Amino acid sequence: MRRFLRHLLEGVQERLFSDIPEDFHSVETGEPFRTCIDCEQPLTGFYIIEKAFVNGDAIYEYALCDSCSESLGEDISPESKKHVRKFIGFPLKPRNLNRCAKCKTPREEGGEHVIIGGFEEDKMLNLGLPLTLCGSCVDLLNEGMSKATRDRLDEFEREHFPGPPEMEIDLPKRPKPVLI
């Protein structure tokens, strides 16, 4: 019986975790992310990665450790958290990163999209994440969030992705960091 249970658990772990695909490596270094964008500490334990693309070019990318993610999550309204869970859902099987998780638009059609994944040490978690959202679905997701949540995510963006002062103009709403 023990051998059977051990074999069963090994099979579950193999499906639950996989190697980190190159899609989630840093564009800057070509290597896996090593530090949290917020606290700048090494990524140990659980962390998330979000990357945004426009016409195939990465426009921002970051890794956020579990502690900093929890801290950011405390600033997100309960209504916004509920909206994200309802909008995205969290299926028990891995998602296809080649198309939007919501509307199924293929990534190769260009335009804007974000990819989001959850990781444990050097493995990717395949439960609810990873996922891809197209720019239109990111807009829909953002529209359903409270103003306080959008303001907090805008603050996070300004803190970590400042542009030159002359770029302080009204840009389109997307892509913005979306992971909560």
> Where in the chain are the domains?
8-167
Rg (CA), the chain: 17
Tens-digit pLDDT profile for residues 89-140 = 776 666 788 999 889 999 888 789 999 999 999 999 887 789 999 999 999 9
Look up the pTM and report it: 0.81
**At which residue do the structure tokens 């929890």 appear?**
70
Q: Is 180 within 8 Å of 81 (Cβ atoms)?
A: yes
112-120 and 46-54: which strand pairing?
antiparallel
DSSP state of 127: S
Confidence band for 71, pLDDT divided at 50, 70 and 90: very high
Tens-digit pLDDT profile for residues 20-65 = 999 999 999 999 999 999 999 999 999 999 999 998 889 999 999 9
d(CA 129, CA 118): 6
Locate 131 and state its tokens: 């996922």
Find residue 172's DSSP bridge partners: none
What is the predicted pLDDT for the residue at 95?
Answer: 77
Q: Is 176 within 8 Å of 138 (Cβ atoms)?
A: yes
Least confident of 4-8, 75-79, 81-85, 110-114: 4-8
Residues whose CB is less than 8 angstroms from the CB of residue 5 and which lie 6 or more positions away in sequence, other chains included:
none
Inform me whether the pLDDT recorded for 2 exceeds 60. no
What is the predicted pLDDT for the residue at 172?
Answer: 46
Locate 22 and state its tokens: 């190159």
DSSP conformation letters of 93-122: S---TTB-TTT--BGGG-SEEEEEEEEETT
